[in-house]
Amino acid sequence: MKKSQIILFAVSLILTGIIYAIVIGNKKTESKEVKGEETVKYIPVQIIKNESRSLKTNSYGQITPYTELDIAFEIQGKLEKGSQVLKPGSKFGFNDLLYKVDSEEMFFTLSARKAQLSNLLINILADIELDYPEEFEKWNSFVEEINPLSFLPDFPEMKSEKEKMFFTSKGVLAEYLNIKGIEARMSKYLFLAPFNGYVVDVYAEPGSIINPGGRIARIANLDNMEVKLPVSIELYDKFKEKGAVKFLNADNEPIGTGSIIRTANTINQSTQSIDVYYSIKPEKGITLLSNQYVTAEIDNMISESMCVVPSIAVKKNEVYLLKNEQLYKKSISIIGSKQDSLFINGLNDQDTLLLEFNKPNKKIKKYIGIERQ
């Protein structure tokens, strides 16, 4: 009995060893197969072919007035309307009277001073005729030209020191200069439009009492408009070299042309680009609107050798190339873009480009490229 048990145990042990050996063998085979799968990888690639191309480059901006300013007076008084009542959006022409300040008191004071000057001259006309007979007609004409309702005429030229001393001693010159000073102050009671424009906003209405320096309204120039365009650092020099641009509206229709006025000396932190300011001249029959969004287009701005690659093949101006079944990183320059493609240079003809930017896997020992047409 014992002998048969020993034999049975031995047979069981041998069978167990055989089964164990088979299982271990299968695992090694599977491991080798998995390892084989990890060592080779098929990847989509593109064979590079550089061509000379001319690109159209776009940038986007907003039309703004070249000049905006606040209307304010240097004097205090009651505000009165000008040639029209101004509201936001109202348009006006150059030299139109926009606002005035009640100057009735100042007007009467000025008229009285002119009358005093006239009387002063009339009282000394006899002395002028006696002492300066050759100058009498000049001074008599001057007296006749003085009108309380208009600006003083130019003061007659005094040809000798004796004549100058005579009129100075009589107080004529001092009175004339005092009146001219009042007239200059009278001009501060009026605000004439410095350009053709429109009203942006109104802060005070006619009838209100204004203080010196207080804002009355804000106006903008209609004749001169500009567009601020953000330009990438890579294209900045090319934009400056080209100079002129064509502007399109939201419907992609041409509305005007422009040229560079000035450029910023710093990088815009929000866009990481350089702000370039362009003038804009409307096409015939086109009305430009403040704050209108436009597209700036430059034809044939870039003409050089480049290739077209999928945008997903590029990351931070770098790509991967396949060479000798291995992947190598290479830096490139982006020239432009179109939908989901990029125009780049920095690659040589017949280079093999990885079409999807992925870092190499250390487990992969061999990469095989499959060219996409």
The answer to whether residue 257 scores a pLDDT higher than 50 is yes
The CATH number given to whatever domain includes residue 252 is: 2.40.30.170
* pLDDT mean over 282-296: 89
CA atoms of 127 and 122, how far apart (whole Å): 10
Which position has the higher pLDDT, 24 or 316? 316
Token pair of 195, please? 């350009």
45 within a domain of the structure (yes/no): yes
**In a shared domain, residues 241 and 115:** no
**In a shared domain, residues 127 and 248:** no
* Domain ranges, residue 206: 67-96+193-221
The CATH number given to whatever domain includes residue 80 is: 2.40.50.100
pLDDT tens track for 271-281: 788 999 999 99
Compute the radius of gyration of the chain from its Cα atoms.
Answer: 44
**In a shared domain, residues 317 and 183:** no
What is the edge-to-edge ordering of all strands in the sheet holding 326-331?
326-331, 318-323, 352-354, 40-47, 366-371
CA atoms of 175 and 144, how far apart (whole Å): 17
Token pair of 172, please? 């004529």
292 within a domain of the structure (yes/no): yes
The CATH number given to whatever domain includes residue 45 is: 2.40.420.20
**In a shared domain, residues 264 and 325:** no
Pairing mode of beta strands 254-268, 273-279? antiparallel
From the centroid of its chain, how far is CA 9? 94
346 within a domain of the structure (yes/no): yes
* pLDDT mean over 156-169: 88
Three-class SS of residue 157?
coil
Backbone angles phi, psi at 173, to 5 degrees: -65, -40
**In a shared domain, residues 109 and 78:** no
**In a shared domain, residues 85 and 204:** yes
Question: What pLDDT was estimated at residue 65?
Answer: 92
309 within a domain of the structure (yes/no): yes
The contacts of residue 330 (CB under 8 Å, 6+ apart) are: 318, 319, 320, 321, 346, 347
Question: What pLDDT was estimated at residue 29?
Answer: 45
**In a shared domain, residues 206 and 325:** no
Pairing mode of beta strands 366-371, 40-47? parallel
pLDDT tens track for 312-344: 999 988 999 999 989 999 999 887 777 788 888
154 within a domain of the structure (yes/no): yes
CA atoms of 159 and 362, how far apart (whole Å): 102
Question: What pLDDT was estimated at residue 342?
Answer: 87
- Is the Cβ–Cβ distance between 346 and 333 less than 8 Å? yes
Tally Cβ neighbours within 10 Å of residue 294: 24
Token pair of 56, please? 């159209």
**In a shared domain, residues 295 and 231:** yes
* pLDDT mean over 128-140: 88
Q: List the beta strands (DSSP E) in 181-253.
A: 190-192, 197-202, 209-210, 217-221, 225-231, 244-248
Question: What pLDDT was estimated at residue 302?
Answer: 61
Q: Which of 176, 206, 221 is the last residue of a domain?
A: 221
CA atoms of 255 and 288, how far apart (whole Å): 8
**Per-residue confidence band for 5, with pLDDT thresholds at 50, 70 and 90:** low
**In a shared domain, residues 114 and 178:** yes
Count of domains for the chain: 4
The contacts of residue 243 (CB under 8 Å, 6+ apart) are: 259, 260
How many CA atoms within 13 Å lie on the side-chain side of 116? 15
CA atoms of 165 and 235, how far apart (whole Å): 71
**In a shared domain, residues 292 and 363:** no
- Is the Cβ–Cβ distance between 219 and 201 less than 8 Å? no
32 within a domain of the structure (yes/no): no
CA atoms of 157 and 350, how far apart (whole Å): 89
- pTM for this one? 0.57
29 within a domain of the structure (yes/no): no
Q: Which of 179, 203, 221 is the last residue of a domain?
A: 221
Beta bridge partners of 297: 58, 246
In a 10 Å sphere around its CB, with 0-12 CB exposed, 13-18 middle and 19+ buried, how is residue 198 labelled? middle
**In a shared domain, residues 170 and 197:** no
Q: Which of 303, 320, 350 is the last residue of a domain?
A: 303
* pLDDT mean over 229-234: 83
pLDDT tens track for 73-128: 998 999 999 999 999 999 999 999 999 999 888 888 888 999 999 999 999 988 88
- Is the Cβ–Cβ distance between 195 and 223 less than 8 Å? yes
Instruction: Report percent pLDDT > 70 for the chain.
Output: 88
14 within a domain of the structure (yes/no): no
Distances in Å between the alpha carbon of 168 and those of 110, 158, 173, 265? Answer: 21, 11, 6, 57
How many CA atoms within 13 Å lie on the side-chain side of 131? 13
**In a shared domain, residues 72 and 211:** yes
**Per-residue confidence band for 288, with pLDDT thresholds at 50, 70 and 90:** confident
The answer to whether residue 162 scores a pLDDT higher than 50 is yes
**Per-residue confidence band for 35, with pLDDT thresholds at 50, 70 and 90:** very low
